[in-house]
């Protein structure tokens, strides 16, 4: 497939320049694929060509040195080709079966776990966290590290009922896929932004700041003779959008920020339609560097799911089969007032059918 001629120099190069030659030759002509073992896939083309993929874990933020080491492995075994998946796995593809085991041995020697394919937990997709983002209510890389330390056996085996996707977003603007993952770890603010009235007039445009709020909670106000804004706290949903627009309205609060856990989302439309994640645990405290409450909570949900779900059932499908009361009972989680969706537009999500079983 030839890349179309570019009209501008804006944007990334066409992806076909980076495909392994064996993949390019069989593009769109695949016959089947197999999960040979945890972390190893084999795709077979209509021509009979076979391509082996070895998947390793990778942190989302990695050093140049680590990237160079990965590239050296790609040079050694994969004709110089590798790719990163949207969940930050690194995948090495080769058409030589004899390369698979030595590649796995080299990856393990580098400390890179191999797995994440089939009915396993794949790498956790996550956002920037305290490393980069001004809005974060928690860290992302740190939380991912401690959770995967607990769940690594589910990455390197295919022992779960179905594949299980975990996502972390460090605020509810959710640059991660928390809205549609089997288990979602979501940083939350619980207090409105503070306002630095001395700086706001110099740092921010008031109309833009007012317009930044999705809840219309910000209004212009005169404070001690200065033009500024006020926040109607009852309307604020602590999203932090205003802080993105106006640096004089910081929202991070070390005592009140924390983490919520959501379950049951999926993107796939296999068997059942895609589903949004729903609230399981409204708040856990921020307890770096190991966040034990968060890793324990996620591990508990994974273990109950692993024991109780039927083969091929995703977390959301399992919960829908047993019912939410059973989910809370089996996982020993508390059902609270925060689980009731009372947002203005929530009525459109209620079960309004008359077919209700008691
Ligand atoms: S999820 Fe929120 S805090 Fe995290 S990187 Fe995205 S905008 Fe920033
Ligand atoms: S945090 Fe969100 S809801 Fe609250 S005032 Fe800022 S933009 Fe509005």
- Residue in 70, 46, 48 with CA at minimum distance from that of residue 58: 70
In this structure, what token pair is assigned to residue 30?
């695949």
Nearest-CA residue for ligand 1 atom 1 is 174
Work out whether the CA dihedral 140, 131, 61, 108 comes out positive or negative: negative
CA end-to-end distance (rounded Å), the chain: 58
- Cα R_g (the chain), whole angstroms: 24
| 171, 206, 211, 240, best to mutate for ligand 2 pocket (most atoms within 8 Å of CB) | 240
Is 271 within 8 Å of 315 (Cβ atoms)? no
Given a contact cutoff of 8 angstroms between Cβ atoms, the answer to whether 57 and 113 are in contact is: yes
Name the closest-CA residue to atom 5, ligand 1: 128
Nearest residue CA, atom 6 of ligand 2? 242
From the CB of residue 249, how many other CB atoms can be counted at a distance below 10 Å? 26
Closest approach atom of ligand 1 to CA 171: 2
pLDDT at 64: 96
The Å distance, Cα 226 to ligand 2 centre, comes to 21
User: Quick check: 42 and 33 in contact, CB under 8 A?
Assistant: yes
Separation of 261 CA from ligand 1 center, angstroms?
16
What parts of the chain have a pLDDT lower than 50? Answer: none
167 Cα to the center of ligand 2, angstroms: 24
245 lines ligand 2 (CB under 6 A): no
Measured in angstroms, how far is the CA atom of residue 249 from the centroid of ligand 2? Answer: 9
| CA–CA distance, 111 with 328 (Å, rounded to integer) | 37
Cα–Cα distance for residue pair 244/8, rounded to 1 Å: 31
pLDDT of residue 33: 95
Q: How far apart are CA 141 and CA 59, in angstroms?
A: 8
pLDDT for 209-252, tens place per residue? Answer: 999 999 999 999 999 999 999 999 999 999 999 999 999 999 99
Query: Could you say which DSSP state residue 236 is in?
Result: -
What residues flank ligand 1, with Cβ below 6 Å?
127-128, 133, 135-136, 169-171, 173-175
Q: Which residues contact 84 (CB under 8 A, 6 or more apart)?
A: 58, 90, 91
DSSP 192: P
**39-86 pLDDT per residue, tens:** 999 999 999 999 999 999 998 889 999 999 999 999 999 999 999 998
């Amino acid at each position: 497939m030839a890349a179309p001629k570019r009209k501008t120099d804006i944007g990334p190069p066409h992806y076909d320049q980076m495909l392994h030659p064996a993949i390019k030759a069989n593009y769109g002509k695949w016959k089947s694929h197999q999960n040979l073992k945890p972390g190893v896939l084999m795709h077979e083309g209509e021509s009979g060509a076979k391509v082996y993929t070895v998947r390793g874990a990778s942190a989302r933020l990695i050093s140049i040195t680590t990237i160079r080491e990965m590239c050296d492995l790609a040079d050694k075994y994969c004709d110089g080709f590798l790719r990163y998946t949207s969940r930050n796995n690194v995948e090495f593809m080769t058409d030589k079966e004899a390369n698979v085991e030595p590649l796995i041995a080299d990856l393990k020697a580098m400390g890179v776990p191999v797995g994440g394919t089939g009915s396993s937990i794949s790498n956790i997709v996550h956002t920037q966290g305290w490393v980069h983002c001004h809005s974060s209510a928690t860290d992302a890389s740190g939380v991912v590290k401690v959770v995967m330390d607990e769940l690594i056996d589910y990455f390197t085996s295919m022992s779960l009922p179905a594949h299980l996707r975990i996502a972390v977003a460090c605020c509810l603007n959710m640059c991660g896929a928390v809205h549609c993952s089997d288990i979602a770890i979501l940083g939350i603010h619980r207090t409105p932004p503070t306002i630095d009235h001395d700086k706001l007039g110099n740092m921010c445009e008031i109309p833009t700041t007012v317009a930044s709020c999705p809840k219309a909670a910000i209004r212009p106000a005169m404070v001690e003779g200065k033009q500024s804004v006020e926040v109607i706290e009852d309307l604020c949903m602590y999203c932090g959008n205003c802080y993105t627009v106006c640096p004089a309205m910081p929202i991070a609060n070390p005592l009140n920020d924390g983490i919520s856990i959501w379950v049951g989302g999926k993107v796939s439309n296999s068997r059942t339609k895609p589903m949004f994640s729903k609230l399981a645990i409204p708040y856990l405290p921020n307890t770096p560097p190991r966040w034990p409450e968060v890793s324990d909570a996620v591990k508990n949900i994974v273990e109950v799911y692993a024991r109780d779900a039927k083969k091929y059932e995703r977390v959301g499908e399992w919960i829908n089969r047993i019912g939410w009361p059973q989910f809370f009972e089996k996982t020993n989680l508390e059902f609270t007032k925060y689980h009731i969706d009372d947002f203005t537009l929530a009525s459109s999500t209620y079960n309004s059918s008359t077919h209700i079983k008691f």
